[in-house]
Amino acid sequence: MNRTDDILTFMKKFLYKIQELLIHTGKQIWMIPIRMGHFLRKLGLKKNKREIIKKQEKQFSEHTSGSARGKGALVKGLGAGILAGVMVTVVISAAIFHSYAENAAARESELESQIAGLESENKSLENRNELLQLEGDKAEIAKKNAEILSSDEEGWSLVLVNEEHPLATDYEPARLTAIDSERSVDSRIAADLQKMMEDGAAQGLDMYVTSAYRSYERQREVFSAGMQERLNRGLAPLEAYEDTSTSIAFPGTSEHATGLAVDIIANGYSELDEKQASTPEQQWLMAHCWEYGFILRYPQDTGDITGIIYEPWHYRYVGKEAAKEITEQGITLEEYLGE
């Protein structure tokens, strides 16, 4: 039983009381002439006997007619009572119904708002679930990427690491080969890299590896330094973050953490910008890197696919077969892997 039902029950009881009262009033109206008769008769007792008889006869007739009138009054009274009762019933019922209808409308509106609230809550939960699912998926990808890289099974060189496909932050190549005092690469690519650098040098080119394997911690330092440099230039924090992330992969999403990527620059032009592409060193690397199992990972006008701006210095080892196909088709690693 809710409050509306309680109110309705109370109103119904109240209504019956009014009906009873009105019907009773009808009875009272009917009683008036009878009482009048008794009163007149009492008055008549004070007259002489004849007069008393006359009075009694008269009173009797009056009583009779009074009784008849009383019956009429009874009918009329009852009728009026019932009619009034019915009228009040109708009016109050209408009022109750109206109030009930208003309550119902208010209740319906309240329920609608509750439903809308629940729907909105549900939607936000769905969105949250999607985000959690996405985060869950990413965590799964990151773990799987680390597993594939750790294994020597086919496919280790084709691991995709980007913003949507992170790498477990604790991944470390099982074997690292130093290429100088500070830098090292995954030992599985060391020989091909060395051959490429030697062949380039043999062509009279002067270039060197400026960046190779970077641990997650190192990537964090590089990313922070990139952001700091932009903040110092006066960029707002969010702008600095967004600008940094277009050229430096966010920690956990960098290919450098795989040990399969290297940044090679010309000795004569050490800036990491698009002009690097015009150097004879990059021209040669872009034309021949596939022969050594490398691809230019972030080609011009592919930022919408790779998520990284044109980087004519970042080379990624994918294996000789894949490098050949990717180069011939002029596609990115994402497109090659159908991602």
311 is catalytic: yes
Q: Which is nearer to Zn ion, 165 or 314 (CB)?
A: 314
Provide the minimum distance between the beta carbon of 234 and Zn ion in the complex, in angstroms, as a whole number: 26
How many Å apart are CA 273 and CA 240, to the nearest integer? 18
How many Å apart are CA 146 and CA 165, to the nearest integer? 11
Listed in sequence order, the DSSP H helices in 151-260 are 187-202, 216-232, 237-247
Q: Which is nearer to Zn ion, 147 or 263 (CB)?
A: 263
Provide the minimum distance between the beta carbon of 187 and Zn ion in the complex, in angstroms, as a whole number: 19
Provide the minimum distance between the beta carbon of 282 and Zn ion in the complex, in angstroms, as a whole number: 13
Place of tokens 């990808």: 141
* Under 8 Å between Cβ of 296 and 321: no
Provide the minimum distance between the beta carbon of 141 and Zn ion in the complex, in angstroms, as a whole number: 20
Shortest-Cβ-distance residue relative to Zn ion? 314
Summarize as ranges the residues that interact with Zn ion (CB under 5 A). Answer: 263, 314
Q: Which is nearer to Zn ion, 85 or 200 (CB)?
A: 200
* Under 8 Å between Cβ of 89 and 19: yes
Q: Which is nearer to Zn ion, 59 or 306 (CB)?
A: 306
Q: Which of 311, 328, 335, 339 is catalytic?
A: 311
Provide the minimum distance between the beta carbon of 189 and Zn ion in the complex, in angstroms, as a whole number: 14
Rg of the chain on CA atoms, in Å: 50
Cα→Cα distances 42→50, 59, 66, 68, Å: 15, 10, 16, 20
Cβ neighbours of residue 208 closer than 8 Å, sequence gap 6 or more: 197, 264, 265, 267
* Dihedral pair phi/psi, residue 304, rounded to 5°: -70, -20
Q: Which is nearer to Zn ion, 169 or 210 (CB)?
A: 210
Q: Which is nearer to Zn ion, 59 or 332 (CB)?
A: 332
Q: How many CB atoms sit inside 10 A of residue 223's CB?
A: 20
How many Å apart are CA 242 and CA 222, to the nearest integer? 15
* Under 8 Å between Cβ of 317 and 261: yes
Provide the minimum distance between the beta carbon of 272 and Zn ion in the complex, in angstroms, as a whole number: 9
Residues marked active site are found at 311
